[in-house]
């Protein structure tokens, strides 16, 4: 749920981007219908239902979402609108009843007033009293179809396939081998010793996967025999492909063993082509795999415990020469998206299974698993995994990378000094090591944090830790790694002076192009065109043009018609006369 300061910070970006580009799972901008009171109220109710079904969020009314420029985008809402009437309308016309919170936000543009509607959804699915419903998926409100309703029932725990009991004596359904491998994997994760010493049936009972003397499907998945799994989990399958191209593979393995057996089998197959790099650190020779073991285990466990058992699709692992993809059937649920997964509250597709795995410490119900996956890659100086929703299939992708010895040594030294870097700090350092600089908004998007929270983190990294430095001010603020740390982490192949040389070369190139276009009486360049020429981002181009003002470069026009032009030495002389 976004706060007023968060919204204010986003509104400040409307001179650079459209409101639509700022929207996400938990945020939407809507223009108020001033022509029809009935239409405005219908939209209000529709958006309340949509956001509630999508996990909650904020709707900002009074903003056009397809134009650039604050003055053009912020129209406001009529001053006579009474938020008490709006709250009562939403309550009366929704089922179950919704009670959103409304706030007024004063702005200098338009009518001077925006309306914020904060929606929480605790009893979904929601519809209007007429039975109509929508659900927020990404930036869109889509119809609440039958399959969407079924997914919501899974999210709320009302239908849990893994909690359902199966027929037959539990002792006839379990495999002693599967149970021993489960114990061994749990022992590696420091599961409570008193659990691991129990008999097979007592252990499953303690995990609450035996209910009233019957084994649940969660119990079958944890310790069942191949025959029991094939009967009671007919859609479950894992497949590992060793790919030689995007369309061909040279080796394949399939299986439908119990979870811990599947986990160890997949790890073994992946590690058969997961090279080790040895790094000297003092007296020690440390070994690092291209795909770190911790990251692999977290990704595989995530795929195995979030399977949609109703889909006839395998947990599919594709191992390419340069990357690894781990995909499981069943899309994101509970409002989780690739853009908020780092910080979103955890949502279990299979609550009974996840609860049992949490007792064994094989998964974490505080959403630490994704962070651990990112951390395992980042502390070795590697790019973090990418996570995608491919049409109802969640895919985690790792790039095959060697460890960065300087970065790993830096992390080790920080740990010895008692400074443990967070995933957000690691993301920032990794990004700034690969890019000369970045603004606060870009880094906030990268870390999936609000701009206000990110500013606090970046300021601490600069003032307290001294790992980054700040340039510019206000909306022009930018950040980069301090020169001494950049040299330490990047090594001799990326001296800091190269960034300055590239910056001056970009300025010279843009000035030359603008002067030549002015000589030919042609129009100037847009921000996007300058970005294409210099390979800089929008914020960097703004700063670059500001530095070129002394050379006679000016901004002409407004909004989408704005262009940078060269006005010549006469303008520079005039500026000099005025300053004198």
Whose tokens are 């989990």? That residue is 233
Give the number of domains in the chain. 4
Spell out the SS3 assignment of 551-575. Answer: HCEEEECCHHHCEEEECCHHHHHHH
Q: How far apart are CA 222 and CA 235, in angstroms?
A: 16
Are 278 and 244 within one domain? yes
The 10 Å Cβ neighbour count of residue 212 is 5
Give me 541's structure tokens: 């181009």
Q: Is the peptide bond before 96 cis (omega within 30 degrees of 0)?
A: yes
Return the H-helix or E-strand segment holding 268: helix 259-271
How many residues would you count in the chain?
580
Q: How far apart are CA 522 and CA 529, in angstroms?
A: 14
The low-confidence residues of the chain, meaning pLDDT below 70, are 150, 153-158, 365-367, 472-476, 491-501, 569-580
559: in domain: yes
Are 323 and 213 within one domain? yes
Q: How far apart are CA 175 and CA 136, in angstroms?
A: 43
Residue where a domain terminates, one of 453, 474, 490:
490
Are 414 and 559 within one domain? no
198: in domain: yes
CB of 357 within 8 A of CB of 301? yes
Residue where a domain terminates, one of 445, 461, 490:
490
Q: How far apart are CA 28 and CA 445, in angstroms?
A: 16
Whose tokens are 């995909």? That residue is 327
Q: What is the CATH number of the domain that holds 572?
A: 1.10.10.10
CA-wise closest residue to 373 among 471, 293, 273: 293
Q: How far apart are CA 55 and CA 308, in angstroms?
A: 20
Are 339 and 197 within one domain? yes
Q: How far apart are CA 572 and CA 575, in angstroms?
A: 5
Residue where a domain terminates, one of 428, 460, 490:
490
Q: How far apart are CA 388 and CA 312, in angstroms?
A: 20
Tell me the residue range of the domain where 20 lies: 4-155
Whose tokens are 């035996």? That residue is 210
- Angle at CA 486, nearest 5°, toward 483 and 490? 150
At 439, give phi and psi (nearest 5°). Answer: -90, 170
Whose tokens are 């199966």? That residue is 166
Q: How far apart are CA 447 and CA 492, in angstroms?
A: 28
- Amino acid 541: pLDDT: 84
**CA atoms lying within 13 Å on the CB side of residue 516:** 6
Those residues with Cβ within 8 angstroms of residue 338's Cβ, 6 or more apart along the chain or in another chain = 332, 386, 387, 388, 389
220: in domain: yes
Q: Judge if pTM exceeds 0.75.
A: no
Give me 2's structure tokens: 């976004």
Are 340 and 454 within one domain? no
Give me 196's structure tokens: 């691991």
Those residues with Cβ within 8 angstroms of residue 255's Cβ, 6 or more apart along the chain or in another chain = 237, 238, 261, 262, 265
Q: Is the peptide bond before 187 cis (omega within 30 degrees of 0)?
A: no
368: in domain: no
- Amino acid 571: pLDDT: 45
Are 472 and 502 within one domain? no
Those residues with Cβ within 8 angstroms of residue 509's Cβ, 6 or more apart along the chain or in another chain = 533, 534
- Amino acid 575: pLDDT: 47
Are 131 and 213 within one domain? no
CB of 378 within 8 A of CB of 426? yes
Q: How far apart are CA 484 and CA 488, in angstroms?
A: 6
DSSP labels, 352-416: HHHHHHHHTTSS-TTS-HHHHHHHHHHTTTPPPPEEEE-SSEEEEEEE-----HHHHHHHHHHHH
Are 204 and 317 within one domain? yes
Q: What is the CATH number of the domain that holds 127?
A: 3.30.950.30
48: in domain: yes
Give me 309's structure tokens: 């058992």
Beta bridge partners of 330: 393
With the C-alpha atoms ordered 374, 377, 381, 385, is the resulting torsion angle positive or negative?
A: negative
Using one digit for the tens of pLDDT, what is the confidence trace for 69-116?
999 999 999 999 999 999 999 999 999 999 999 999 999 999 999 999
Q: How far apart are CA 412 and CA 547, in angstroms?
A: 40
Are 390 and 416 within one domain? no
Q: Burial level of 432, CB count in 10 A (0-12/13-18/19+)?
A: buried
Return the H-helix or E-strand segment holding 254: strand 249-255
Are 205 and 343 within one domain? yes
Are 397 and 308 within one domain? yes
CB of 421 within 8 A of CB of 414? yes
- Amino acid 560: pLDDT: 72
Q: Give the three-state DSSP class for 484.
A: helix
Are 231 and 133 within one domain? no
Q: What is the CATH number of the domain that holds 250?
A: 3.30.565.60
């Amino acid at each position: 749920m976004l706060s007023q300061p968060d919204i204010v910070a986003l509104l400040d970006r409307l001179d650079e981007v459209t409101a639509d580009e700022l929207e996400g799972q938990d945020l939407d901008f809507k223009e108020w219908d001033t022509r029809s009171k009935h239409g405005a109220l219908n939209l209000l109710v529709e958006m309340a239902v949509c956001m509630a079904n999508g996990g909650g969020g904020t709707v900002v009314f009074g903003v056009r979402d397809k134009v650039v420029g604050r003055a053009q985008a912020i129209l406001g809402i009529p001053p006579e609108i009474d938020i008490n009437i709006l709250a009562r309308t939403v309550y009366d016309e929704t089922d179950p009843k919704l009670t959103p919170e409304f706030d007024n936000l004063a702005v200098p543009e338009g009518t001077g007033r925006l309306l914020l509607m904060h929606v929480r959804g605790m009893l979904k699915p929601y519809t209007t009293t007429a039975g109509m419903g929508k659900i927020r998926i990404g930036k869109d409100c889509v119809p609440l179809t039958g399959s969407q309703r079924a997914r919501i029932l899974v999210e709320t725990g009302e239908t849990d396939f893994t909690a359902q009991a199966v027929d037959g004596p539990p002792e006839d359904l379990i495999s002693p081998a599967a149970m021993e491998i489960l114990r061994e994997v749990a022992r590696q994760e420091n599961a409570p010793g008193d659990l691991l010493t129990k008999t097979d049936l007592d252990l499953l009972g303690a995990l609450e996967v035996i209910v009233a003397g019957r084994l649940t499907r969660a119990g079958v998945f944890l310790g069942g025999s191949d025959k029991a799994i094939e009967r009671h989990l007919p859609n479950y399958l894992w497949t590992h492909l060793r790919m030689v191209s995007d369309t061909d593979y040279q080796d394949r393995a399939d299986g439908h063993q119990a979870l811990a057996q599947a986990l160890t089998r997949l790890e073994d197959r992946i590690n058969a082509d997961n090279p080790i790099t040895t790094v000297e650190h003092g007296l020690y020779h440390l070994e690092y795999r291209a795909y770190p073991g911790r990251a692999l285990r977290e990704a595989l466990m995530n795929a195995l415990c979030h399977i949609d058992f109703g889909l006839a699709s395998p947990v599919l692992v594709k191992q390419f020469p340069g990357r690894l993809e781990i995909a499981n059937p069943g899309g994101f649920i509970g409002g989780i998206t690739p853009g908020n997964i780092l910080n979103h509250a955890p949502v279990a597709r299979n609550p009974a299974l996840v609860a049992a795995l949490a007792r064994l410490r094989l998964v974490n119900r505080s959403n630490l698993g994704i962070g651990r996956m990112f951390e395992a890659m980042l502390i070795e100086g590697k790019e973090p995994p990418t996570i995608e929703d491919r049409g109802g299939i969640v895919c985690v992708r790792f790039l095959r990378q060697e460890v960065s010895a300087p970065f790993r040594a830096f992390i080790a030294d920080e740990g010895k000094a008692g400074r443990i870097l967070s995933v957000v700090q690691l993301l920032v350092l990794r990004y700034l090591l690969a890019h000369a600089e970045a603004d606060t908004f870009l880094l906030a998007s990268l870390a999936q944090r609000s701009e206000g929270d990110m500013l606090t983190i970046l300021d601490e990294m600069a003032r307290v830790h001294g790992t980054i430095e700040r340039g510019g001010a206000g909306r022009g603020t930018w950040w980069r790694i301090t020169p001494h740390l950049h040299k330490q982490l990047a090594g001799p192949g990326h001296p800091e002076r190269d960034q300055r040389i590239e910056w001056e070369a970009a300025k010279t190139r843009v000035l030359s192009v603008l002067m030549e276009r002015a000589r030919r009486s042609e129009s100037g360049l847009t921000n996007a065109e300058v970005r294409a020429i210099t390979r800089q981002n929008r914020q960097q181009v703004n700063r670059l043009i500001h530095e070129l003002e002394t050379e006679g470069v000016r901004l002409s026009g407004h909004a989408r018609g704005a262009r940078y032009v060269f006005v010549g030495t006469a303008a520079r002389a005039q500026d000099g006369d005025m300053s004198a």
